[in-house]
Amino acid sequence: MLTDLPLWHPPSGRGPGLVLVQEIFGLDDYLRSVAADLAAAGYVVAVPELFWRTAPGWSSTHDEAGVAASMEVAGSFDPELGLADVLATIAHLRSLPSVTGGVGVLGFCLGGSLAFAAAAEGDPDTAVSFYGSTVARQIDALSRVGCPIQFHFGGQDPYIPRSDVAVVEAAVAAHPGAEIHVQEEAGHAFHNNVAPMFHHPEAAARAWELTTEFLRRTLPA
C-alpha cells in the first residue's frame, strides 16, 4: 500500500508531515486540491488509499449517484484495517528524509473519524477531524489523545445530529489541548468545494482559516 503512496512536497522540498485522510469519494480532485494547498503551506502531504483492499483506485462523482456508489463501497470498509493504514502512513512519513518537525493527521468525513482514532491509538503530533460521523459514539477515546486536536462540524448535518455534536463539545471542554468549531448553518462535507450538494463556501472559508492557524500553532512549517 505504501509503495504507491501519493506525496505532495512543499516548495522547499522539506517540512513537517501531514497524513490527509480521504472522504468516501476517494482520491478525487477535491482531495488533491487540499493536498496541494497544504503542501504550498509547507507540509509534506501523504494520502493513503483506504479502499485498496476492496475497490482499488476508487473515486466517484459528487452527486446523489456518486454518494450512493461511495456508500456502497464504504460498506465493505474495515475501520480497523483503515486505521492501521493511517498509522502506517504516519510512521512512513516519519522515516522520510524530507519530513522534519513532526507528523500530523487531518481527515474529512470517514477520514475525520479515522483522524480522531489515529490520535487516540497512535502518535501523531497534531490532529484535525472534520465531521467524523463516529466521533461522538467513540468520544471516550478522547482521554487517550495526547496531542493537540481540533474538531469541525456543521450544525445542520443530516448525518451527524446536533445532539451528537453537543456530546463532543462537552468532552472537548474538559480535555486540555482539544478544541471544537461548529459552523451552525452548514451541513455535512461543507468544505468539499467540488460537491455542490454539500459545499458551503462561507463556512468552509472560516473552518479552513481555523485549521491553518491551528496547524501553524501545533505543527509549524
- Give me the amino acid identity at 36: A
Catalytic residue among 188, 191, 199, 200: 188
Catalytic residue among 28, 157, 164, 199: 157
- Give me the amino acid identity at 204: A
| Opening angle at CA 206, ends 205 and 212, nearest 5 | 85
Q: In what order do the strands lie in the sheet containing 15-21?
A: 7-8, 44-46, 15-21, 99-108, 127-130, 149-154, 178-183
Q: Are 86 and 21 in contact (CB under 8 A)?
A: yes
State whether residue 1 is helix, strand or coil: coil
Eight-state DSSP code of residue 136: G
Is 175 noted as a catalytic residue in this protein?
no
Is 109 noted as a catalytic residue in this protein?
yes
Is 188 noted as a catalytic residue in this protein?
yes
Catalytic residue among 28, 85, 92, 109: 109
Contacts of 11 (CB under 8 A, 6+ apart): 40
Residues annotated as catalytic (active site), given as ranges: 109, 157, 188
